[in-house]
Amino acid sequence: MDLDTVLDKTEDIELRLLLDAIYRRYHYDFRGYSMASITRRLRQAREHFGCRTLSQLQDRVLHDPAVLPELLSYLTVQVSELFRDPPYFRAIRERVVPHLRTYPSLKVWVAGCSAGEELYSLAILFREEGLEERTMFYGTDINPEAIRKAEAGVYEIERLPLFTENHRLSGGKSSLSDYYTAAYGAAVFDKTLRRRAVFSDHSLVTDAVFAEVHLVSCRNVLIYFDRQLQDRAVGLFKDSLVRKGFLGLGAKESLRFNAHADAFAEFARDERIYQKRGAS
Partner 1 sequence: MTTGSPLPVPHAPRAEAVVIGASAGAVDALSVILPALPEGYPLPVMVVVHVPPNKKSIMAELFRNKCRVDVREADDKEPLAPGTVYFAPPDYHLLVEPDRRLSLSSEEPVHYSRPAIDVLFESAADAFGPALVAVLLTGASSDGACGLKAVCDAGGAALVQHPDEAAMPTMPRAGIAACPKASVMYLEQIAGHLRDLGRRP
What's the closest the beta carbon of residue 230 comes to partner 1, in angstroms? 7
Helix axes 160-169, 117-128, angle to 10 degrees: 40
Residue 148 contact, options ligand SAM, partner 1, none, Cβ 5-8 Å cut-off depending on partner type: none
SS3 (DSSP) at 273: strand
Q: Which residues in 64-83 contact ligand SAM (CB under 6 A)?
A: 76-80
Binding site for partner 1 (CB under 8 A): 2, 4-5, 8, 12, 34-37, 39-41, 77, 79, 85, 220, 222-224, 226-227, 230, 251-254, 256-257
Nearest to 67 by CA among 25, 102, 12, 123: 25
Task: List, in order, residues 6 or more apart from 178 with CB less than 8 Å away.
Answer: none
Q: Which is nearer to partner 1, 83 or 179 (CB)?
A: 83
Residue span 215-244 as binding mask against ligand SAM, x where in contact by CB under 6 A, dash where not: ----xxx--x--------------------
Binding range to ligand SAM, per CB under 6 A, among 14-22, 168-176, 201-209, 239-247 = 201-209
**Cβ nearer to partner 1, comparing 21 with 223:** 223
How open is the CA angle 187-190-192, to the nearest 5 degrees?
160
Cβ partners under 8 Å of residue 229, min gap 6: 32, 33, 204, 205
Q: In what order do the strands lie in the sheet with 154-156?
A: 154-156, 186-189, 180-183
Which does residue 221 touch among ligand SAM, partner 1, none (CB within 5 to 8 A, set by kind)?
A: ligand SAM
- Nearer residue to ligand SAM within complex by CB, 55 or 229: 229
Q: Which is nearer to partner 1, 36 or 66 (CB)?
A: 36
φ/ψ of 178, rounded to 5, equals -65, -20
Residues whose CB is less than 8 angstroms from the CB of residue 159 and which lie 6 or more positions away in sequence, other chains included: 81, 82, 187
Residue span 95-114 as binding mask against ligand SAM, x where in contact by CB under 6 A, dash where not: ----------------xx-x
Binds ligand SAM by CB under 6 A, chosen from 73, 164, 200, 203: 203
User: Looking at beta carbons only, is 148 or 269 nearer to ligand SAM?
Assistant: 148
Task: Write phi, then psi, for 277 (nearest 5 degrees).
Answer: -70, 160
